[in-house]
Amino acid sequence: MKAKLIKTNDKVFIENIPCFEWAKSNDNSFIKSTQLALNSIGEDFSYEYLMGISGSAFRLHFNMDWCPSATDSTTGFDVSKILFKSLA
């Protein structure tokens, strides 16, 4: 079922995106959230496909002090630009 898009001024909201459930998976939260949003508007992309085309499946990012944000897909080498450009 496609979610409803709500346009308000210069913003677009997607209604009824499924929630990402932290306790149920070890998925990359950025990629999984992107998949849930895309799937809710009728774009049928798998988590594995998005991991591959974004480069997230191959990305290792270490911080000397092990910063908790080091695993974030948009920290350091930002894979979001590659992901969204690949989907365009």
Q: Domain range holding 77? A: 5-18+27-87
How far, in Å, CA of 83 to CA of 17, rounded?
19
Please list the pLDDT of the chain residue by residue as tens digits (88 residues).
577 888 999 998 888 887 777 767 777 888 998 998 899 888 999 999 999 999 888 877 666 676 666 667 887 788 999 999 999 8
Query: Do β-strands 5-8 and 11-14 pair in parallel, antiparallel, or remain unpaired?
Result: antiparallel
The pTM for the full model equals: 0.75
What domain count does the chain have?
1
C-alpha to C-alpha distances, 52 to 59, 66, 67, 82, nearest whole angstrom: 10, 25, 25, 11
Question: Which tokens go with 10?
Answer: 């210069």
Output the CA angle 68-74-75, nearest 5 degrees: 45
Radius of gyration, CA atoms only, the chain:
14
